[in-house]
């Protein structure tokens, strides 16, 4: 109902705008059109550069792909189907879908190889892509004479002017709404988690490569649509879609605030319209466009110094913000959500151990070497469901490395790791469909490469042969095809043996299967709020997809409500609900540690790995944390392995302890056995350890776990 109301308002506004627009001078109609296109391009680029934190600088390339595709469709449609009477706007829709899709396909091809890697590869690749598209469009005749209608460097003539105000601005508004929907859903949070901390995002079960590629493809799609609209508004020439245009969109989002939709929108409008609005003044003082470039550069430099996050940062101009800023708050419950729900035991599945139940964690000879250094060597670790086990050892003994092995950050050099009875570490063959896809791709690539090499070789013999004899032509052809075929055959034989055809389990897959962790040097998503951090944890167990997020479907709303309730329930349990809307980076150290535990719990783990959970807490806080860890273990039916240097805590809550020194387990046993083990005292506890160990008054767990006989 509410949605219909807003839709009606939007349509009314569009028509009112159209009415006003039609009565303006042509010049201003043109400016308004340009603003709309800039908004579409800037907002779509912001999906990649702002939300996901990547750096793409070839947006005009995708725009060009869309523009030429769309223009081709309407160009031919107008000629061939004029008599059938299908109206232009209908073809425009087809053109937009086709232009968007083709741009998206290009986005996928460009994105997949460059987004696997972290760093600036994307910037370089997109920059190159933009230039390649431009050059290709300039030389359409050389590619194929059939493309001559595109006009090469002179531009694509006779494209019908179909980018009317309602369509153009309707698309712009639609895009803004879609991206807004995405940004505030947990899918959007997953995008932002990649921006904040890729390693932590991975550990929370976010498939970072897939997220980055999705963002990039989505962004390319909308750039393509924007290109189609541009093509039906102005003459399209290849040199329009150059580096300058790409950069102008980057400038818009940098000024507006990378990550802010309203910021990008406003910057797009201001930077497009302002120079035009000032035209009468500029003409008087002979202030040409060249000077304008200087002004832009200056503004950008000033922005970087004074407000590097852009005018809006990642925030949004919203009704809620306006209310906070200028009026009395409507109702705080709307902003903070409803009262926290009563805690219910969501996963109270603590069943008694069955005989023959597989171990939760079982490692055999687990080893990891770095160069010549064995960081973890020959570790055999067995955890039964429901156990709370400690891992102690001197600094540098390999405890954190072991955690990284157990969560897929490192692959073991040797040994195996089984989780709940199924192997997790080590390499396995790719699933057959992906294997075939990869094989086909590799063979095609080899054939193409072979063909090129063949051409080069066959031309290099030219100086040595007599061009007038027919045999020499045969020789050339023979060399070319022989080389092509040989290289292709070589690829077919060799490809399946390559490492590419094997896959290791990635950290996000460990998380999906139920291993979650906290980090020794806290890795929260600092810019995001406490609640958002926990919601990213719940993202892993989602049942909705990206399209649900874009279009705010009913099931997405239900799921978000559930997830938020679950997140707040967990937060209230760890006494963090009162700071749910603070940025995570502003919490004190100890609270950040507890937030990491909450975030890990939100992924719904079966095994929880805690890396120094009590570091930075005072004794009193440690005691309450100990209680919480136990409680959580019991209520959620978890198995917990924890690294901690506070012996009071470790000895107080752990039922069993492993001691690691120089990468090897030197002792294993109950706290009492460990405390008196001379090896452990020598390597770790120190002789002066005099502090008495206080057994806190905690209810003993309902089920005593029995150690399996070794």
The residues that touch another protein, with contacts defined as CB under 8 A, are 370, 392-401, 520-522, 582-583, 586-591, 612, 615-623, 645, 647-648, 684-689
Q: Which is nearer to another protein, 113 or 588 (CB)?
A: 588
Tell me whether residue 6 is exposed, middle or buried, using C-beta atoms within 10 angstroms of its C-beta: 0 to 12, 13 to 18, 19 or more. Answer: exposed
Q: Which is nearer to another protein, 137 or 651 (CB)?
A: 651
**665 phi and psi, to 5 degrees?**
-80, 120
Q: Which is nearer to another protein, 236 or 397 (CB)?
A: 397
Q: Which is nearer to another protein, 177 or 685 (CB)?
A: 685
Q: Which is nearer to another protein, 252 or 614 (CB)?
A: 614
State the SS3 of 221-253.
HHHHHHHHHHHCCCCECHHHHCHHHHHHHHHHH
Residue 156, both tokens: 């694509």
- Min dist. Cβ of residue 312 to another protein (A): 16
Q: Which is nearer to another protein, 271 or 626 (CB)?
A: 626
**419 phi and psi, to 5 degrees?**
-120, 120
- Min dist. Cβ of residue 581 to another protein (A): 11
Q: Which is nearer to another protein, 29 or 583 (CB)?
A: 583
Q: Kindly give, in sequence order, each residue whose CB lies less than 8 Å from that of residue 439, ignoring residues fewer than 6 positions away.
A: 495, 496, 501
Written as one string, the DSSP assignment of 607-626 is EEEEESTTTT--HHHHHHHH
Q: How far apart are the first and last CA of the chain?
A: 64
C-alpha pair distances (Å), 85 with each of 77, 92, 96, 325, 636: 11, 14, 20, 53, 65
- Min dist. Cβ of residue 267 to another protein (A): 24
- Min dist. Cβ of residue 510 to another protein (A): 21
- Min dist. Cβ of residue 81 to another protein (A): 60
- Min dist. Cβ of residue 689 to another protein (A): 6
Tell me whether residue 685 is exposed, middle or buried, using C-beta atoms within 10 angstroms of its C-beta: 0 to 12, 13 to 18, 19 or more. Answer: middle
Distance (Å, rounded) from C-alpha 581 to C-alpha 531? 6
State the virtual CA torsion across 432, 206, 51, 179 in degrees, nearest 10: 70
Q: Which is nearer to another protein, 42 or 617 (CB)?
A: 617
C-alpha pair distances (Å), 131 with each of 101, 127, 143, 223: 20, 7, 16, 16
Distance (Å, rounded) from C-alpha 668 to C-alpha 658? 4
Q: Which is nearer to another protein, 198 or 612 (CB)?
A: 612
- Min dist. Cβ of residue 531 to another protein (A): 16
Q: Which is nearer to another protein, 343 or 589 (CB)?
A: 589
Distance (Å, rounded) from C-alpha 612 to C-alpha 607? 16
Distance (Å, rounded) from C-alpha 595 to C-alpha 317? 28
- Min dist. Cβ of residue 404 to another protein (A): 11
Q: Which is nearer to another protein, 399 or 573 (CB)?
A: 399
Written as one string, the DSSP assignment of 365-402 is EEEEEETTEEEEEEEEEEE-TT-EEEEE--TTSSHHHH
Give the 3-state secondary structure of residue 660: strand
- Min dist. Cβ of residue 250 to another protein (A): 28
In contact, 391 and 363? CB cutoff 8 Å: no
- Min dist. Cβ of residue 396 to another protein (A): 4
Q: Which is nearer to another protein, 509 or 624 (CB)?
A: 624
- Min dist. Cβ of residue 400 to another protein (A): 6
- Min dist. Cβ of residue 34 to another protein (A): 38
Q: Which is nearer to another protein, 354 or 697 (CB)?
A: 697
Neighbouring-strand partners of residue 370: 373
Residue in the block written with tokens 């100990």: 626
348 alpha carbon, distance to own chain's centre: 32
- Min dist. Cβ of residue 193 to another protein (A): 20
Written as one string, the DSSP assignment of 319-347 is HHHHHHHHS--S-HHHHH-SPPPPP--TT
User: Pairing mode, if any, of strands 388-392 and 656-661?
Assistant: parallel
């Amino acid at each position: 109902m509410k949605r219909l109301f807003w839709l009606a308002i939007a349509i009314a506004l569009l028509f009112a705008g159209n009415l006003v627009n039609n009565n303006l001078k042509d010049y201003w109609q043109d400016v308004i059109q340009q603003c709309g296109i800039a908004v579409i391009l800037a907002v779509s680029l912001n999906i990649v550069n702002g939300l996901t934190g990547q750096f793409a600088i070839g947006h005009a390339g995708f725009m060009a792909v869309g523009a030429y595709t769309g223009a081709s469709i309407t160009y031919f449609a107008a000629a061939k189907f004029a008599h059938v009477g299908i109206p232009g706007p209908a073809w425009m829709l087809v053109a937009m879908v086709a232009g968007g899709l083709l741009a998206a396909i290009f986005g996928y091809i460009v994105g997949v190889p460059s987004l696997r890697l972290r760093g600036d590869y994307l910037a370089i690749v997109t920059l190159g892509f933009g230039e390649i598209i431009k050059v290709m469009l300039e030389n359409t005749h050389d590619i194929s004479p059939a493309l001559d209608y595109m006009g090469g460097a002179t531009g694509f003539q006779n494209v019908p002017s179909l980018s009317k105000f309602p369509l153009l601005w309707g698309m712009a508004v639609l895009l803004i709404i879609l991206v807004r929907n995405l940004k505030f859903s947990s899918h959007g949070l997953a995008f932002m988690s990649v921006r904040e901390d890729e390693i932590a995002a991975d550990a929370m079960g976010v498939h970072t490569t897939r997220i980055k590629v999705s963002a990039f493809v989505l962004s390319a799609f909308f750039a393509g649509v924007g290109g189609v609209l541009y093509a039906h508004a102005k003459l399209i020439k290849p040199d329009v879609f150059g580096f300058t245009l790409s950069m102008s969109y980057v400038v818009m989002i940098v000024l507006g605030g990378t990550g802010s939709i309203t910021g990008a929108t406003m910057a797009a409008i201001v930077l497009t319209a302002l120079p035009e609005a000032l035209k009468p003044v500029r003409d008087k003082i002979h202030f040409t466009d060249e000077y304008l470039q200087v002004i832009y550069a200056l503004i950008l430099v000033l922005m970087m110094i004074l407000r590097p996050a852009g005018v809006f940062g990642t925030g949004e101009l919203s009704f809620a913000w306006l209310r906070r800023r200028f009026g009395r708050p409507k109702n705080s419950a709307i902003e903070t959500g409803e009262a926290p729900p009563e805690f219910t035991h969501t996963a109270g599945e603590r069943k008694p151990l069955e005989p023959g139940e597989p171990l939760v964690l079982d490692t055999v000879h687990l080893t990891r070497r770095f160069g010549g250094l064995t960081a973890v060597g020959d570790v055999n670790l067995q955890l039964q469901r429901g156990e709370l086990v400690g891992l102690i050892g001197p600094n540098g003994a390999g405890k954190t490395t072991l955690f990284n092995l157990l969560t897929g950050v490192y692959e073991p050099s040797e040994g195996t790791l089984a989780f709940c009875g199924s192997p997790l570490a080590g390499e396995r063959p790719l699933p057959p469909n992906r294997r075939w896809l990869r094989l086909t791709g590799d063979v095609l690539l080899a054939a193409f490469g072979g063909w090129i090499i063949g051409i080069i070789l066959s031309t290099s013999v030219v100086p040595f042969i007599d061009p007038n004899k027919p045999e020499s032509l045969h020789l050339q052809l023979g060399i070319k095809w022989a080389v092509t075929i040989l290289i292709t055959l070589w690829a077919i034989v060799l490809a399946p043996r390559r490492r590419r055809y094997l896959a290791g389990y990635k950290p996000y897959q460990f998380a999906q299967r139920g291993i979650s962790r906290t980090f020794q040097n806290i890795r929260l998503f600092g810019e995001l709020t406490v609640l958002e951090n926990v919601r990213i944890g719940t993202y892993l167990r989602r049942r909705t997809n990206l399209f649900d997020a874009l279009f705010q479907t009913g099931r997405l709303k239900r799921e978000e409500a559930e997830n938020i309730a679950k997140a707040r329930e967990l937060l209230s349990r760890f006494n963090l609900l009162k700071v749910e809307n603070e940025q995570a980076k502003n919490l004190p150290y100890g609270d950040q540690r507890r937030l990491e535990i909450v975030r890990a719990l939100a992924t719904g783990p079966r095994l929880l790995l805690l890396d120094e959970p009590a570091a930075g807490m005072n004794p009193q806080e440690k005691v309450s944390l100990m209680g919480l860890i136990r409680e959580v273990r019991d209520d959620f039916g978890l198995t917990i392995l924890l690294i901690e240097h506070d012996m009071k805590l470790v000895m107080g809550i752990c039922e069993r302890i492993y001691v690691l020194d120089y990468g090897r387990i030197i002792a294993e046993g109950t706290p009492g056995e460990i405390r008196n083990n001379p090896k452990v005292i020598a390597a770790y506890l120190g002789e002066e350890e005099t502090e008495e160990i206080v057994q806190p008054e905690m209810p003993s767990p309902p089920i005593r776990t029995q150690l399996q006989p070794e």
